[in-house]
Amino acid sequence: LPHRGRSRKRVLVLCTGGTLTMSSDPSAQGALAPVQGALTDYMSSMRELTDDPEMPEIVSHEYIPLIDSSDMGPGDWAVIAQDIATNYYHFDGFVIITGTDTMAYAASAVSFMFQNLGKPVVFTGSQIPLREPYNDARKNLIMAIIFASSDTVSEVTIFFHDRLLRGCRATKVNTCKLLAFDSPNIDSLATIGIHVEEKDHLFLPPPKGAFRVRTEMDTRLITLRLVPGFDDAMIIHMIKAASKETVLKGLILQLYGAGNMPSLKNDLIECLKDATNDGVCVVVSTQCHTGSVIMGHYATGLALKEAGVVSAGDMTLEATTAKLAYLLGRQDLAIDEVRDLMGVDLRGELTPEGLMPPPPLASTYQKAIFKKNRSRIF
């Protein structure tokens, strides 16, 4: 397809490592380890990429050294985002190859780092190394490149197995199956079978402003998953110690169901109230795989809301942590603005409150408002 005077589109493939690039390492008792240069060699011999005139021109770059995704964090994600920004006007799309363990965190973080993204950025990897005779790496790589040359995608995504997912809606759900990622609260953007089925109504619209990148993330936050019978005195001590010693800025609590915690834990609620008064952004997410936090639906949730705690809505934990770190890293935002923006859909990571299904045992009035909002939007 003609594009800016070229006969083919151009896609930049950035490789950080991961299972896709791995081979057994004799020096590590046969454990898998990334092999520098292997991906570039494999891609140069893949006739699907080199001989088909409809496939884009591919330029690959392997970071040195290749690293396991478990060793990656905000600094590494910032490097990826900055490299894409540097090459933004030289390529039509971008593929990021990385390990699966933290891929959803990376995709979420990069989603927030980009403002007014107008080109596809596709994360991918594999459960089986590319060098193995039977693998999922080859298909994932080819389809990621195809979607990276698409005219309909203008957001950060993950392609894995047979589906394209919004990056800030994805989460890893399986360690040993090829269908390793899911998007719990929104359908996949596209699925592949004999044909590619794109769900056009789900894609983010093209941007209206100039492309910008903000890579600063404030990582002074902690995430706590509560379990029945927990010792609230230990949690209170940890929060107070973190606030004093490291200037805690964000606290994410994974609570039960719609965002509930034991109603008798008054000391913990008072501690959370003190933390919000001290400038900590406290966010509640649900431990459930699907669904949303509905603060105020139950009395325990209402107590948290009155303490200044904010809801993560139906965001994944990956999106919640990345979004909070991104907003806290914005030097132009006051803490109250950070709290407000946690409830605002910035990159398609969150279902707006007016479009949420009515909660269990909702009143007829609530259900009517939901139906009205739904018909107005759709």
- Residues 189-200 have a mean pLDDT of 95
Q: What is the pLDDT of residue 143?
A: 97
Q: Has residue 299 got a pLDDT over 80?
A: no
CA proximity to 192, closest of 157, 147, 148, 152:
147
Q: What is the pLDDT of residue 38?
A: 86
Three-state SS for 60? Answer: strand
CA dihedral 371, 372, 376, 377 (to 10 degrees): -40
Which residue type is seen at 68? D
| pTM above threshold 0.95 | no
Q: What is the pLDDT of residue 6?
A: 56
DSSP string, 322-372: HHHHHHHH-TT--HHHHHHHHTS-SSS-S--GGGSPPPTT--HHHHHHHHH
Kindly report which listed range (30-34, 58-62, 251-255, 310-314) carries the lowest average pLDDT score.
30-34
Q: And the tokens for 282? A: 């406290």
* Residue 143: Cβ within 10 Å count: 22
Q: What is the pLDDT of residue 83?
A: 98
Q: Has residue 377 got a pLDDT over 80?
A: no
- Residues 185-189 have a mean pLDDT of 96
Of 19, 102, 320, 321, the catalytic one is 19
Which residue type is seen at 242? A
Helices (H) and strands (E) counted in the chain, each on its own, are 11, 18
pLDDT above 90 coverage of the chain, percent? 73
Exposed e or buried b per residue across 110-129, where buried means at least 16 C-beta atoms within 10 angstroms of its C-beta:
bbbbbeebebbbbbbbbbbb
**Known active-site residue 19:** yes
Kindly report which listed range (67-71, 108-112, 115-119, 356-360) carries the lowest average pLDDT score.
356-360
- Judge contact between 130 and 309, C-beta under 8 A: no
Q: Has residue 378 got a pLDDT over 50?
A: no
Q: What is the pLDDT of residue 337?
A: 97
Residue of higher predicted confidence among 319 and 35: 319
Q: What is the pLDDT of residue 330?
A: 95
pLDDT above 70 coverage of the chain, percent? 89
**For residue range 200-255, what is the model confidence (pLDDT) as tens digits?**
999 999 999 999 999 999 999 999 999 998 888 999 999 999 888 789 999 999 99
- Judge contact between 236 and 268, C-beta under 8 A: yes
**For residue range 322-344, what is the model confidence (pLDDT) as tens digits?**
999 999 999 999 999 999 999 99
Q: What is the pLDDT of residue 28?
A: 62
Query: d(Cα 179, Cα 162) in Å, to the nearest integer?
Result: 8
Angle formed at CA 202 by CA 289 and CA 123, multiple of 5 degrees = 70
Q: What is the pLDDT of residue 26?
A: 64
Q: Has residue 371 got a pLDDT over 80?
A: no
> What is the H or E stretch that residue 111 is in?
helix 103-113
